[in-house]
Amino acid sequence: MSLEVAFTLLVAAVAVERVAELVVSNRNAEWSLAQGGVESGRGHYPFMVVLHTGLLVGALVEVWVRRPEPPAALVWSMFVLVLASQALRWWCIRTLGRQWNTRVIVVPGAARVTGGPYRLIPHPNYVAVVVEGFALPLVGGAWITAIVFTVLNAGLLATRIRAEDAALANLTGRVPGGAAA
C-alpha cells in the first residue's frame, strides 16, 4: 500500500472519530443548555470548525500533490503521537462527562471537574489538539500543513482558552473524580 493511500485511510479514521465527537458534543450541549447552560466565545467557533476541517483536507491535498517521502522514523513516531492524542482527547471527554462539548457552554452552579487529566494540567484537551495538529500531517510528510495549522491554532487557542477560563471562573464547586453528572 502506498503512503498516500495509507495516509488517506488514517485521515478518514480521524474524520470518523471527529463525527463521533460531534455526536457526543451535540448531545452534551443539548443537556447543558437544558440545564440553563450559558454559551461563551461563540465568535471563534466557526473559525475553529474551518481550521480543524482544513487540517484534514490540507494534509490530504498536500500528501497527494507533493507526494513526500518522509523517513519511516518520522512516520511511525508521529503515528504514535496521533494515537496518544486521541487517547488523551477521549480521556478528557470521559472525565468531563456531560460537561464536555466542542463549544464553551457552562452550567451555572455546576462543579468544576479537577480529576483525570485535569488534575495534571488545566486544558489537557488542547494538548491533544496541538499534538495532533502537527503529528497527523507529519505522518504523511505534510510539513506545510503542520506549520500552517500550528500557527493558526496557536492564535485560536489563545482566544479560546481566555473565553473558557472566563466562563469557568464562575464555577465554585469541584468534582475531583471527574465524570460529573
Taking residues 62-85, what's their average pLDDT? 98
- pLDDT at 169 exceeding the cut of 50: yes
Residue 180 has pLDDT above 50, yes or no: no
Please indicate, yes or no, if residue 112 is contained in any of the structural domains.
yes
Question: Which pTM does this prediction carry?
Answer: 0.90
**Structural domains in the chain (count):** 1
Q: How would DSSP label each residue in 124-167?
A: HHHHHHHHHHHHHHHHTT-HHHHHHHHHHHHHHHHHHHHHHHHH
Provide the domain limits for residue 63: 3-175
Confidence of residue 109 (pLDDT cuts 50, 70, 90): confident
Predicted local confidence at residue 177, as pLDDT = 52
- Averaged pLDDT, 116-125: 94
On the question of pLDDT at 90 being above 50, the answer is yes
Q: What is the CATH number of the domain that holds 51?
A: 1.20.120.1630
Query: Does 72 fall in a domain?
Result: yes
